[in-house]
Amino acid sequence: MSVPRYEDAEDAMDFDDVIMGRRSIRGYKPDPVPRSLIEEILSLAMRAPSSMNTQPWNFTVLTGEPLDRIRQGNTERNLAGIPHSREFRIGSAFDGAHRDRQVFVAKQLFGAMGIEREDKAGRQDWVLRGFRQFDAPVCVIITYDKVLAGSDDTPFDCGAVTTALVNAAWSRGLGCVVNSQGIMQSPVVREHAGIADDQVIMKAVAMGWPDESFPANTVVSERKSVAEAARFVGF
Protein backbone atom coordinates (compact mmCIF):
# COMPACT_ATOMS: atom_id res chain seq x y z
CA MET A 1 0.00 0.00 0.00
CA SER A 2 1.38 3.43 -0.89
CA VAL A 3 1.86 5.97 1.87
CA PRO A 4 -0.79 8.69 1.67
CA ARG A 5 0.76 12.09 1.03
CA TYR A 6 -0.21 14.96 3.29
CA GLU A 7 -1.67 17.06 0.46
CA ASP A 8 -3.85 14.16 -0.72
CA ALA A 9 -5.45 13.67 2.66
CA GLU A 10 -8.63 15.69 2.80
CA ASP A 11 -8.84 15.88 6.58
CA ALA A 12 -5.13 16.06 7.39
CA MET A 13 -4.21 18.54 10.10
CA ASP A 14 -1.23 20.79 10.66
CA PHE A 15 1.60 19.00 12.55
CA ASP A 16 1.53 21.36 15.55
CA ASP A 17 -2.23 21.01 15.84
CA VAL A 18 -1.87 17.21 15.95
CA ILE A 19 0.90 17.24 18.55
CA MET A 20 -0.63 19.93 20.76
CA GLY A 21 -4.23 18.78 20.33
CA ARG A 22 -3.80 15.05 20.85
CA ARG A 23 -4.71 13.70 24.23
CA SER A 24 -5.75 10.31 25.47
CA ILE A 25 -9.39 9.54 24.71
CA ARG A 26 -11.23 7.33 27.19
CA GLY A 27 -14.82 7.74 25.98
CA TYR A 28 -15.94 6.82 22.44
CA LYS A 29 -18.92 6.99 20.16
CA PRO A 30 -20.08 3.51 19.16
CA ASP A 31 -19.73 4.30 15.43
CA PRO A 32 -17.52 1.86 13.53
CA VAL A 33 -14.15 2.89 12.10
CA PRO A 34 -13.60 1.97 8.44
CA ARG A 35 -10.88 -0.61 7.89
CA SER A 36 -9.43 1.50 5.02
CA LEU A 37 -8.94 4.44 7.41
CA ILE A 38 -7.11 2.22 9.91
CA GLU A 39 -4.90 0.93 7.09
CA GLU A 40 -4.09 4.52 6.12
CA ILE A 41 -3.22 5.37 9.74
CA LEU A 42 -1.01 2.30 10.08
CA SER A 43 0.85 3.12 6.87
CA LEU A 44 1.54 6.63 8.20
CA ALA A 45 2.60 5.31 11.61
CA MET A 46 5.01 2.81 10.09
CA ARG A 47 7.12 5.65 8.72
CA ALA A 48 8.48 5.69 12.30
CA PRO A 49 12.21 5.05 12.56
CA SER A 50 13.43 1.72 13.94
CA SER A 51 16.76 0.24 14.89
CA MET A 52 18.56 -0.73 11.65
CA ASN A 53 15.12 -0.47 10.01
CA THR A 54 14.18 -3.81 11.58
CA GLN A 55 10.50 -2.74 11.98
CA PRO A 56 9.89 -5.30 14.75
CA TRP A 57 6.24 -4.25 15.20
CA ASN A 58 3.05 -6.04 14.19
CA PHE A 59 -0.55 -5.02 14.71
CA THR A 60 -3.66 -7.06 15.43
CA VAL A 61 -6.64 -4.81 14.79
CA LEU A 62 -9.75 -5.95 16.61
CA THR A 63 -13.39 -5.00 16.51
CA GLY A 64 -16.79 -6.66 17.01
CA GLU A 65 -17.13 -10.07 18.60
CA PRO A 66 -13.46 -10.96 19.17
CA LEU A 67 -12.92 -7.62 20.91
CA ASP A 68 -16.03 -8.16 23.02
CA ARG A 69 -14.69 -11.57 24.11
CA ILE A 70 -11.44 -9.91 25.20
CA ARG A 71 -13.34 -7.24 27.13
CA GLN A 72 -15.31 -9.99 28.87
CA GLY A 73 -12.27 -12.14 29.63
CA ASN A 74 -10.32 -9.17 30.96
CA THR A 75 -13.21 -8.08 33.16
CA GLU A 76 -13.85 -11.56 34.54
CA ARG A 77 -10.21 -12.19 35.38
CA ASN A 78 -9.85 -8.76 36.93
CA LEU A 79 -12.93 -9.23 39.11
CA ALA A 80 -11.70 -12.70 40.09
CA GLY A 81 -8.46 -11.12 41.30
CA ILE A 82 -6.28 -13.09 38.87
CA PRO A 83 -2.82 -11.51 38.95
CA HIS A 84 -1.56 -9.64 35.90
CA SER A 85 0.23 -11.70 33.30
CA ARG A 86 2.04 -9.32 31.00
CA GLU A 87 4.66 -10.65 28.63
CA PHE A 88 7.23 -7.92 29.24
CA ARG A 89 8.94 -6.57 32.32
CA ILE A 90 7.29 -4.09 34.69
CA GLY A 91 9.57 -2.00 36.89
CA SER A 92 8.95 -1.31 40.56
CA ALA A 93 6.25 1.13 41.75
CA PHE A 94 6.85 4.79 40.91
CA ASP A 95 8.41 7.08 43.45
CA GLY A 96 9.36 10.77 43.70
CA ALA A 97 8.68 12.96 40.66
CA HIS A 98 7.37 9.99 38.66
CA ARG A 99 4.84 9.13 41.34
CA ASP A 100 3.85 12.81 41.61
CA ARG A 101 3.09 12.95 37.89
CA GLN A 102 1.15 9.69 38.05
CA VAL A 103 -0.96 11.02 40.92
CA PHE A 104 -1.48 14.41 39.27
CA VAL A 105 -2.91 13.03 36.04
CA ALA A 106 -5.09 10.58 38.00
CA LYS A 107 -6.47 13.53 40.00
CA GLN A 108 -7.17 15.40 36.77
CA LEU A 109 -9.06 12.40 35.36
CA PHE A 110 -11.00 11.59 38.53
CA GLY A 111 -11.76 15.30 38.98
CA ALA A 112 -13.18 15.53 35.46
CA MET A 113 -15.26 12.39 36.02
CA GLY A 114 -16.48 13.55 39.47
CA ILE A 115 -15.06 10.44 41.14
CA GLU A 116 -14.21 11.22 44.75
CA ARG A 117 -11.26 9.74 46.63
CA GLU A 118 -13.52 7.65 48.88
CA ASP A 119 -15.75 6.50 46.02
CA LYS A 120 -14.53 2.90 45.80
CA ALA A 121 -17.28 1.80 43.42
CA GLY A 122 -16.59 4.75 41.10
CA ARG A 123 -12.88 3.96 41.08
CA GLN A 124 -13.52 0.30 40.40
CA ASP A 125 -15.82 1.23 37.51
CA TRP A 126 -13.07 3.39 36.10
CA VAL A 127 -10.53 0.58 36.31
CA LEU A 128 -12.92 -1.87 34.67
CA ARG A 129 -13.52 0.65 31.90
CA GLY A 130 -9.83 0.37 31.09
CA PHE A 131 -10.01 -3.42 31.06
CA ARG A 132 -12.89 -3.06 28.58
CA GLN A 133 -10.70 -0.90 26.33
CA PHE A 134 -12.84 2.08 27.28
CA ASP A 135 -15.67 0.55 25.19
CA ALA A 136 -13.86 1.71 22.05
CA PRO A 137 -15.05 0.18 18.76
CA VAL A 138 -11.47 -0.77 17.84
CA CYS A 139 -8.43 -2.03 19.72
CA VAL A 140 -5.00 -2.39 18.17
CA ILE A 141 -2.71 -4.88 19.89
CA ILE A 142 0.95 -4.05 19.33
CA THR A 143 3.20 -7.11 19.23
CA TYR A 144 6.79 -7.66 18.26
CA ASP A 145 8.72 -10.52 16.73
CA LYS A 146 9.78 -12.79 19.61
CA VAL A 147 13.09 -13.51 17.95
CA LEU A 148 14.07 -9.91 18.79
CA ALA A 149 13.12 -10.19 22.48
CA GLY A 150 15.97 -9.20 24.77
CA SER A 151 17.06 -6.17 22.79
CA ASP A 152 15.94 -2.91 24.39
CA ASP A 153 15.80 -1.46 20.87
CA THR A 154 12.71 -3.56 20.17
CA PRO A 155 10.35 -2.00 22.76
CA PHE A 156 11.90 1.37 21.91
CA ASP A 157 10.89 0.87 18.27
CA CYS A 158 7.40 -0.27 19.28
CA GLY A 159 7.03 2.90 21.35
CA ALA A 160 8.03 4.99 18.36
CA VAL A 161 5.48 3.39 16.05
CA THR A 162 2.77 3.57 18.71
CA THR A 163 3.30 7.29 19.25
CA ALA A 164 3.19 7.82 15.50
CA LEU A 165 0.01 5.72 15.40
CA VAL A 166 -1.90 7.80 17.94
CA ASN A 167 -0.80 11.01 16.26
CA ALA A 168 -1.75 9.73 12.79
CA ALA A 169 -5.16 8.70 14.18
CA TRP A 170 -5.64 12.15 15.73
CA SER A 171 -4.80 13.78 12.40
CA ARG A 172 -7.80 11.94 10.93
CA GLY A 173 -10.18 12.86 13.75
CA LEU A 174 -9.81 9.58 15.64
CA GLY A 175 -8.97 9.35 19.32
CA CYS A 176 -6.82 6.72 21.03
CA VAL A 177 -5.44 5.76 24.38
CA VAL A 178 -2.29 3.69 24.59
CA ASN A 179 -2.82 1.34 27.48
CA SER A 180 -1.37 -1.50 29.47
CA GLN A 181 -4.72 -2.39 31.01
CA GLY A 182 -5.81 -4.09 27.79
CA ILE A 183 -2.88 -6.51 27.80
CA MET A 184 -2.49 -7.13 31.53
CA GLN A 185 -4.29 -10.43 30.96
CA SER A 186 -2.26 -11.31 27.89
CA PRO A 187 -3.48 -14.97 27.65
CA VAL A 188 -7.02 -13.67 27.09
CA VAL A 189 -5.81 -11.38 24.32
CA ARG A 190 -3.64 -14.08 22.76
CA GLU A 191 -6.51 -16.55 22.68
CA HIS A 192 -9.31 -14.35 21.31
CA ALA A 193 -7.11 -12.30 18.98
CA GLY A 194 -5.40 -15.45 17.68
CA ILE A 195 -1.91 -14.05 18.21
CA ALA A 196 0.81 -16.47 17.10
CA ASP A 197 3.45 -17.78 19.50
CA ASP A 198 6.24 -16.00 17.61
CA GLN A 199 4.83 -12.65 18.78
CA VAL A 200 5.31 -10.92 22.14
CA ILE A 201 2.27 -8.91 23.24
CA MET A 202 3.48 -5.40 24.01
CA LYS A 203 0.64 -2.89 24.37
CA ALA A 204 -2.97 -2.10 23.52
CA VAL A 205 -4.30 1.01 21.80
CA ALA A 206 -8.03 1.71 22.08
CA MET A 207 -9.27 3.66 19.06
CA GLY A 208 -12.47 5.31 17.89
CA TRP A 209 -14.35 8.54 17.35
CA PRO A 210 -14.09 10.68 20.49
CA ASP A 211 -17.27 11.23 22.48
CA GLU A 212 -17.12 15.00 22.93
CA SER A 213 -19.43 14.82 25.94
CA PHE A 214 -17.22 12.40 27.92
CA PRO A 215 -15.64 14.53 30.69
CA ALA A 216 -12.24 12.79 30.90
CA ASN A 217 -11.65 13.49 27.21
CA THR A 218 -11.17 17.18 28.02
CA VAL A 219 -8.20 16.52 30.33
CA VAL A 220 -4.95 18.02 29.09
CA SER A 221 -2.09 16.39 30.97
CA GLU A 222 0.91 18.42 32.14
CA ARG A 223 4.45 18.18 30.82
CA LYS A 224 7.71 19.04 32.52
CA SER A 225 9.45 21.99 30.91
CA VAL A 226 12.22 21.81 28.34
CA ALA A 227 14.45 23.44 30.97
CA GLU A 228 13.81 20.47 33.29
CA ALA A 229 14.17 17.81 30.62
CA ALA A 230 17.04 19.03 28.48
CA ARG A 231 20.68 19.86 28.97
CA PHE A 232 22.37 21.78 26.18
CA VAL A 233 26.07 21.18 25.93
CA GLY A 234 28.49 23.23 23.85
CA PHE A 235 26.01 25.94 22.87
Pick between residue 124 and residue 221 the one whose CB is nearest to ligand FMN.
221
Site for ligand FMN in 8-27 (CB under 6 A): 23-24, 26
Site for ligand FMN in 132-191 (CB under 6 A): 177-181
Q: Which of 49, 120, 173, 221 binds ligand FMN (CB under 6 A)?
A: 221
Site for ligand FMN in 60-119 (CB under 6 A): 105
Contact 144, 58 (CB under 8 A): yes
Pick between residue 3 and residue 103 the one whose CB is nearest to ligand FMN.
103
Phi, psi of 62 (to 5 degrees): -115, 145
Contact 108, 221 (CB under 8 A): yes
| CA–CA separation, 171 and 78 (whole Å) | 34
| CA–CA separation, 121 and 167 (whole Å) | 33
Give the nearest distance from C-beta 166 to ligand FMN in angstroms.
8
Give the nearest distance from C-beta 165 to ligand FMN in angstroms.
11
With vertex at residue 211, the alpha carbon angle to CA 210 and CA 216, rounded to the nearest 5 degrees, is 90
Pick between residue 58 and residue 217 the one whose CB is nearest to ligand FMN.
217
Give the nearest distance from C-beta 192 to ligand FMN in angstroms.
19
Sign of the C-alpha dihedral computed for residues 69, 110, 93 and 202 taken in this order: positive
Nearest partner of 89 among 140, 147, 154, judged by Cα: 154
Give the nearest distance from C-beta 104 to ligand FMN in angstroms.
9
Q: Which residues bind ligand FMN (CB under 6 A)?
A: 23-24, 26, 105, 130, 177-181, 203, 221
